[in-house]
Amino acid sequence: MEAIVQVRDLNKRYWNGRGVREVGFEVRRGDIFGLVGPNGSGKTTVLKLLTGLCRADSGDIRLFGNSLNESFVPAMERVGSMVESADVYPYMSGYANLLLAARFYPDLRPARIDEMLELVGLTPYRKEKAGTYSLGMKMRLALAAVLLSDPELVILDEPANGLDVEGTVELRQLIQHMAESRGTTFLLSSHMLDEMERLCSRIGFMHGGALIREAAIEELRGAGGLEQAYLAEIRRAREENAHGAVV
């Protein structure tokens, strides 16, 4: 399977000395790759580096084979992302928000906006100002904007944040449907281990700015599940840290 995301020796150090170091992984077409790890372990930083929201100190990022440094536009044109914020314009209706997002894609069929509103369950609220939406509804609207252009790679930071149970299940079904039917590739981060176990095909464990393990979900399920593996990995990394190992 074609590698859609290739990350090698990625380093980013913020002014306070924290960030990510020597991160490397690959995501293949149709994979649903989940990054998990404690608060501050570097998940969002990796996703920000991959979407050009911040610049790496060193390392190589390739999306669809195009280097982010050398060919940013070809690397990003088939990517949809929602990292750090699910921004919506509060004084515009849900529909108008999507209309605004659609201006970046001149070839988009107008009906696509209605389809996306239906997909994320916002059709009944399409005329209401997005400022009146709940957190979960704003998340759904932002997700609809990400999916408008039918991206081949979707990068989402904590996508289930603020979603209710039904919304979480719908999001999972939507992601799985897109991965299976269209071969859409997903790179996600989340703290919801149960959800990640149900959804993802591969998991990357982050700790202290490093990617400490990568595993197929079947391997983790066979060995007692994601939560158990997660706790064991984090404990091991902390112990190694305490003994002076670089983690």
Ligand X SMILES: Nc1ncnc2c1ncn2[C@@H]1O[C@H](COP(=O)(O)OP(=O)(O)OP(=O)(O)O)[C@@H](O)[C@H]1O
Q: How far is the CB of 26 from ligand X (least distance, A)?
A: 20
The contacts of residue 16 (CB under 8 Å, 6+ apart) are none
User: Is 45 among the residues that bind ligand X (CB under 6 A)?
Assistant: yes
Among 18, 29, 213, 238, binds ligand X (CB under 6 A): 18
Only segment of 8-16, 73-81, 88-96, 119-127 that touches ligand X (CB under 6 A): 8-16
Of 86-115, which residues contact ligand X (CB under 6 A)? none
Two structure tokens written together for 123 = 């059709």
Nearer to ligand X, 16 or 181 (CB): 16
Region from 33-41, 162-170, 179-187, 233-241 binding ligand X, contact rule CB under 6 A: 33-41
Q: Are 204 and 36 in contact (CB under 8 A)?
A: yes
Q: Which is nearer to ligand X, 152 or 233 (CB)?
A: 233
The neighbour count for residue 95, using CB atoms within 10 Å, is 19
Q: Give the pairing type, strands 79-82 and 66-67.
A: unpaired
Q: Name the one range near ligand X by CB under 6 A: 13-21, 160-168, 173-181, 220-228.
A: 13-21
Do the Cβ atoms of 137 and 165 come closer than 8 Å? no
DSSP 180-226: HHH--EEEEE-S-HHHHHHH-SEEEEEETTEEEEEEEHHHHHHTT-H
**Between 20 and 120, CB nearer to ligand X:** 20
Residues touching ligand X, count (CB under 6 A)? 13
Residues 139/174, Cβ–Cβ less than 8 Å = no
Pick the closer one to ligand X by CB: 40 or 90. 40
Binding site for ligand X (CB under 6 A): 14-16, 18-19, 37, 39-45
